[in-house]
Structure 1
């Protein structure tokens, strides 16, 4: 027909345009909002409350129209909420596993009845999360609620958990925290972001209607992320878990330092992730994937496109064709437009060329999808990506160079790999320092996939069985930190105090205290400073020995030695690592009398108790040797076609500040946990009782461990803690010490982000070494020593 605008199949195939979107209706959501007079209160103790005299925050949609307002919570509301949560926890945790699972499954039916309202409300608030994704979460975690006592024995819920989210957090990421916490028997206080608050309030109402006990799920709104710190001040709160952008997470971590509550950290938003296209890829599918994920108005991550040089021209040509029909993307503000313009101009000045569907409009809060071709890894457009529709494109020649580019970012959230060569895909996936790898796909999410934060992308694991343990603690131990108020500290002066001088007695040369050496890079050596500190008897009288006074430079040398050997040790087979641990156990067996005598003299334990500690230490090393190859991840059952694999990987270089009690047993337990899982370790022995650890150096020297894998540095605990905290290469710190030291680490270890395991020395077992030998403590240490990676490979 003349003048017809109907497109043929050939036209559609050439342009690859999407069809028109169906008209959406928000009638159900509008009715629910009208029922609440478009002013949503707090949800506490199973009902909405509207406290008088409260300020409110308005939420607008993408067009600037008012959606609703939410009440701003204040301190009095937190007290009421915490009290309700304590009661809710008693009721909820008192139910059987079957009863909790049944209620979570009942929510699936409730969501089916009100799913339209919920999805419309999510769309209106810009917090998109489809009902099908929520149903999948409910089904998955209801199964774990059913099986908790069967498959996760000797673990108990934490109590009251606060889930805090930033304003830009996605609703799915928020529910990936809330539902597992509930499934494990905790009560939950949710502090949502502005866009996720209305859908979260509706869900809390639906949960209560389905039979959730009052107080088991409370929602407080209207405060920024720093209000999470005020929630943490309440002594009823046992744990805080955060999801959102890194900046707000760092603010929350610093604000809660010293409160005696641990914060697990999952910065889902804003990470920079590589999209790698090899020459063996299906180029058309890869380019289609780029278009789908790179130019969304609201996206979880920023993508950097990495293309093999041999197919660069082909990829760019297809990008031009696919982008030709794209429209400008709306920005959040005129200020953001200015930032995008500045990034593009600077990239062009550095030699980048642009691929755009149209010329950028001269003004207005919108910008066309733009590919910046030929940028360098150090370019600001790569290092500090803007939130606009920009996609930097870099090239690589070899597979090794692709991995180097992929690991260039300090973020370790995810990566997308495109190749038809499965061997290449798996080798690249294992080499990338990220939590999720998608092969020939992107943005695949499912609750069965365990994803750990790598580098600056978090300190905990979400998803899978492994993600449940952040909401559990071993039954055999109490909370590692007592609740307290933060101490007023000058963080720049922590660890600068000098040790008190010890005046030696007038002794002849024959009975002079023995000098010991520390152990760095496989060699026994003095400290860089050349100074030593006196080790006194338990009564504080005579000097037993002198040990080196290590410092920042000793830590630097130890980390450099550990980094050199870590990659090779990590690649060793579990059987090879087990053999080395068996050799350590045999070496300790050979020196058991000498070391038992040192434990007796140093700690004041009886000879029998000292010999018992050495015997337990030998057994513990043998246990870790047997543990090496027992839990290594595997294939995961996905609800869609394809294969999903999970890997337990080493953290990297771990710093450990050891406790005073059981100085030998605690050291070999922690040492075994770290090296059995493929890590390198820097050990700081007890400042009071360092001699058993220094005597153990002879065992390390006689073993077949690679030089530099295990390093032992003695000296002032606080000074060495500061040196560990400020070293950028360390991935984790395990600390037994003062509450001031715990507070310092929580405040300091945020840039770069470090995984912390903190234990106050006031909280110790009272039964000798019994707690160190408990099987669940061993499992807990193993889980703290690994990070999880998931690889998704579609088959259709």
Structure 2
């Protein structure tokens, strides 16, 4: 027909344009909001409450229209919430696994009835989340609730868990914390972000309708940052987990130095509102509340296209993830040089006619304009779908061709639809580009060569790798935040352990306390006691010991020593090296050289080295037993028993090497998913006083068996068993630099480990001040912390080093998880 505007299938295929989107409606959500008079209260003890005299915070949609208002909680509300959570925990944890699973399954049907309201409310608030993804979460974790006592025996609940998210965190990411915490039997207090608050309050109401006991799920909303301090001070909170951004706002921290929970970034009603992972980490330092962080919002992720990829599919994936979806991450496109021109040409074709993308605010437009200007000044060329409007919070999808890894818009990307393109020549260079970012959340790899895809996935330091796909998520996938993207694992069975503790451990390794006045810049700078020469008979002079760095027994760089007193505090038993920052630097340099090669060794090869280490300890049994006897005052019989247990423990770790390595994961959609347990990297371990040899080989074995390198700081009170163990290390076949032992002042060496950027994790047994220092300091770059407060009597959080469950606990602390998703037709 002449003049017809109807497009044929051939026309649509050539342009690859999307069909018209269905008109959206929020009538059901608006009716629910009207039912609550568009003023949502706090959700405490199973019902909405509207305390008298409270301020409220208005929530707006993307167009600036008013959605509703939420109540701003105060101190009295926090106390009521904490009390309700304790009561809810008693009722919820008192149910059987089957009863908890039935409640979660019932919620699936309840959500089916009211899924449209949830979906519309998410859309109205800009927190897009499909009800089907929530249903999948509930179905998956209800089965784990059913099987908890069967498949996760010897582990018990934490108690009251606090879940905090930033304003830019999705509802799915929030519920990925809430639902597994409930499935394991904990009660939950949620501090939501701005966009997720209304939908979460609706879900809390639905949870109650499904039979969840009152108080098992509570929601606190507000804008006053001092609210977080009151929540943190509550002795009811056993654990805090955070999902969101890692932005720093020093002004907020200075003004409110003891704030534990921080809130969404905005500036409404005159309040400074802020929420960031760094601030939370610093603000909770010294409160003795374990804190974990999930992959952060705003991470930079590589989208890698090899020459062997299906270019059309890859480009379509780029358009979808970079410009069509609401982005929680920033993508950087890495293209092999041989297909760069083809990729750019296809991008121009697909982007033609695309409309401008809405930004959050006019301030974001300023940042986008500045990033584009810098890109052009550095020689980048622009590919845009249309001309950018001169002003306003709109900007067209833009590709920045000719970017380099050092470009500011690559290192610190601005908000908005900007996609930098970088090129590579070889597979090795592609991995180097992919690992350039300080973040390690995810990567998308496109190639038809499966071997190349798996090799690249293995080499990338990220938690999720999607092969020929992107943004695939499912609760059965265990994902850890690598590098600066988190300190815990979410999803799968491994993600459940953050909400559990070994039955043999106390409810918390850190006794509740308040922050002490601590000058963080001066921590660990106190000079060691001077050693005065002794003019006694040289034959009876105390024995000098050496430390172990880079495979060699050596003195400290400073050349100084520390006198080790006898158990009674009288005579000097020995002189130990007084290690410091330079010794730690040398040890880290040696460790980082050898750790990648050790990690790539086969599990059986690592096992043989640990068996060899156990044999070496058996050969030195008498010397090590004597050092324990002399140092700790234990009888020779008890000392020999500890050595025997240590030999067995090393053999246990050798046997552990090839027993738990991940595997395939059943996915609801077509495709294959692989789950890997990977080494963290270089670990710093400040050893406890209790069982100085057994605790040392337990922690050393956990690190080495999983592919890590380790720097050990012996107990400052009982260092001799660890220093005597150096003889065993020298005779072993472990690579030089894999295990380093540095003696000296615990505080000084803790500060040196905390400030070293290569150290990935620190396991610490020491005083409360040291725990507070590490919580405050280890934020940039982010380090995984395992802190145990140790009193003067040597009690270290109640850990029983003779218990076999300690192996499973420490093994989980020594690995991070990666998931690889490979779609099939």
TM-score class normalised by the smaller sequence: over 0.9
- In the TM superposition, residue 13 of structure 1 has moved relative to its aligned partner by 1.3
Give me the TM-score of the superposition, normalised by structure 2. Answer: 0.95
* Whole-Å separation in 2 of the counterparts to 1:523 and 1:453: 34
Matches within 5 A, 1:90-105: 90-105=90-105
Equivalent of 1:485 in 508, 511, 514:
514
- In the TM superposition, residue 2 of structure 1 has moved relative to its aligned partner by 3.2
Q: Answer yes or no: is 1:692 the counterpart of 2:721.
A: yes
**Structure 2 match to 1:500:** 529
- In the TM superposition, residue 764 of structure 1 has moved relative to its aligned partner by 8.4
**Structure 2 match to 1:170:** 170
- In the TM superposition, residue 229 of structure 1 has moved relative to its aligned partner by 4.5
CA shift digits 1:607-637 (9 cap, x unpaired): 1111111111111000000000000000000
Answer yes or no: is the 8 Å Cα contact 1:228–1:252 preserved in 2.
Answer: no
CA shift digits 1:639-664 (9 cap, x unpaired): 00000000000000000000111111
CA shift digits 1:335-361 (9 cap, x unpaired): 211211111111111111111112211
Q: Secondary structure at the match of 2:726?
A: helix
Q: Secondary structure at the match of 1:321?
A: helix
Q: Secondary structure at the match of 1:495?
A: coil
**Structure 2 match to 1:342:** 370
**Structure 2 match to 1:401:** 429
**Structure 1 match to 2:68:** 68
* Whole-Å separation in 2 of the counterparts to 1:431 and 1:453: 15
Equivalent of 2:345 in 314, 317, 330:
317
CA shift digits 1:562-598 (9 cap, x unpaired): 0000010000000000000001100000111111011
Q: Alpha carbons of 1:225 and 1:768: their partners in 2 closer, same or farther (altered >3 Å)? A: closer
Q: Answer yes or no: is 1:152 the counterpart of 2:152.
A: yes
- In the TM superposition, residue 365 of structure 1 has moved relative to its aligned partner by 1.3
Equivalent of 1:291 in 306, 319, 338:
319
* Whole-Å separation in 2 of the counterparts to 1:764 and 1:33: 58
Answer yes or no: is the 8 Å Cα contact 1:562–1:708 preserved in 2.
Answer: yes
* Whole-Å separation in 1 of the counterparts to 2:354 and 2:398: 10
Q: Secondary structure at the match of 2:340?
A: helix
Name the count of aligned residue pairs.
796
Give me the TM-score of the superposition, normalised by structure 1. Answer: 0.99
**Structure 2 match to 1:576:** 605
* Whole-Å separation in 2 of the counterparts to 1:735 and 1:246: 24
Q: Answer yes or no: is 1:387 the counterpart of 2:448.
A: no
- In the TM superposition, residue 775 of structure 1 has moved relative to its aligned partner by 2.1
* Whole-Å separation in 1 of the counterparts to 2:796 and 2:401: 64
Matches within 5 A, 1:29-40: 29-40=29-40
Q: Alpha carbons of 1:766 and 1:362: their partners in 2 closer, same or farther (altered >3 Å)? A: closer
- In the TM superposition, residue 768 of structure 1 has moved relative to its aligned partner by 13
* Whole-Å separation in 2 of the counterparts to 1:763 and 1:276: 53
Q: Alpha carbons of 1:70 and 1:763: their partners in 2 closer, same or farther (altered >3 Å)? A: farther
Q: Secondary structure at the match of 1:32?
A: helix
Unaligned runs of 5+ in 2: 248-275
Matches within 5 A, 1:532-611: 532-611=561-640
Q: Alpha carbons of 1:147 and 1:26: their partners in 2 closer, same or farther (altered >3 Å)? A: same
* Whole-Å separation in 1 of the counterparts to 2:796 and 2:470: 51
**Structure 2 match to 1:201:** 201
* Whole-Å separation in 2 of the counterparts to 1:194 and 1:571: 44
Answer yes or no: is the 8 Å Cα contact 1:60–1:66 preserved in 2.
Answer: yes
Q: Answer yes or no: is 1:612 the counterpart of 2:641.
A: yes
Unaligned runs of 5+ in 1: none
* Whole-Å separation in 2 of the counterparts to 1:570 and 1:37: 59
Q: Alpha carbons of 1:225 and 1:380: their partners in 2 closer, same or farther (altered >3 Å)? A: farther
- In the TM superposition, residue 500 of structure 1 has moved relative to its aligned partner by 3.2
CA shift digits 1:475-531 (9 cap, x unpaired): 001121100001111100111112334556542111111111100000000100010
Answer yes or no: is the 8 Å Cα contact 1:305–1:392 preserved in 2.
Answer: yes
**Structure 1 match to 2:677:** 648
Equivalent of 2:664 in 605, 610, 635:
635
* 759-768 vs 545-554, which moves further: 759-768
Q: Secondary structure at the match of 1:148?
A: helix
Q: Answer yes or no: is 1:185 the counterpart of 2:213.
A: no
Q: Answer yes or no: is 1:525 the counterpart of 2:540.
A: no
Q: Alpha carbons of 1:225 and 1:392: their partners in 2 closer, same or farther (altered >3 Å)? A: farther
* Whole-Å separation in 2 of the counterparts to 1:689 and 1:320: 68
CA shift digits 1:27-71 (9 cap, x unpaired): 111111011100000000001000111111111111111000000
Q: Answer yes or no: is 1:464 the counterpart of 2:492.
A: yes
* Whole-Å separation in 1 of the counterparts to 2:285 and 2:342: 52
- In the TM superposition, residue 401 of structure 1 has moved relative to its aligned partner by 0.2
Across the aligned residues of Structure 1 and Structure 2, the Cα RMSD in angstroms comes to 1.4
CA shift digits 1:401-437 (9 cap, x unpaired): 0000000000000000000000000000000000000
Answer yes or no: is the 8 Å Cα contact 2:141–2:183 preserved in 1.
Answer: yes
- In the TM superposition, residue 233 of structure 1 has moved relative to its aligned partner by 1.4
Q: Secondary structure at the match of 2:156?
A: strand
Q: Secondary structure at the match of 1:245?
A: coil
* Whole-Å separation in 1 of the counterparts to 2:338 and 2:496: 44
* Whole-Å separation in 1 of the counterparts to 2:659 and 2:73: 48
Q: Answer yes or no: is 1:426 the counterpart of 2:462.
A: no
Answer yes or no: is the 8 Å Cα contact 1:229–1:252 preserved in 2.
Answer: no
Answer yes or no: is the 8 Å Cα contact 1:225–1:252 preserved in 2.
Answer: no
* 339-348 vs 727-736, which moves further: 339-348
Q: Alpha carbons of 1:422 and 1:225: their partners in 2 closer, same or farther (altered >3 Å)? A: farther
* Whole-Å separation in 2 of the counterparts to 1:296 and 1:258: 43
Q: Alpha carbons of 1:224 and 1:292: their partners in 2 closer, same or farther (altered >3 Å)? A: farther
Q: Secondary structure at the match of 2:588?
A: helix
Matches within 5 A, 1:617-766: 617-762=646-791
Q: Answer yes or no: is 1:356 the counterpart of 2:356.
A: no
* Whole-Å separation in 1 of the counterparts to 2:159 and 2:448: 48
CA shift digits 1:692-735 (9 cap, x unpaired): 11110010000000000000000000000000000000000000
Q: Answer yes or no: is 1:273 the counterpart of 2:301.
A: yes
Answer yes or no: is the 8 Å Cα contact 1:15–1:325 preserved in 2.
Answer: no
- In the TM superposition, residue 678 of structure 1 has moved relative to its aligned partner by 0.2
- In the TM superposition, residue 14 of structure 1 has moved relative to its aligned partner by 1.6
* Whole-Å separation in 2 of the counterparts to 1:392 and 1:513: 64
* Whole-Å separation in 2 of the counterparts to 1:730 and 1:261: 23
* 2-11 vs 497-506, which moves further: 497-506
Answer yes or no: is the 8 Å Cα contact 2:158–2:500 preserved in 1.
Answer: yes
**Structure 1 match to 2:269:** none
Answer yes or no: is the 8 Å Cα contact 2:180–2:496 preserved in 1.
Answer: yes
* Whole-Å separation in 2 of the counterparts to 1:541 and 1:325: 84
Q: Alpha carbons of 1:10 and 1:412: their partners in 2 closer, same or farther (altered >3 Å)? A: same
Q: Secondary structure at the match of 1:771?
A: coil
* Whole-Å separation in 1 of the counterparts to 2:706 and 2:312: 40
Q: Secondary structure at the match of 2:763?
A: strand
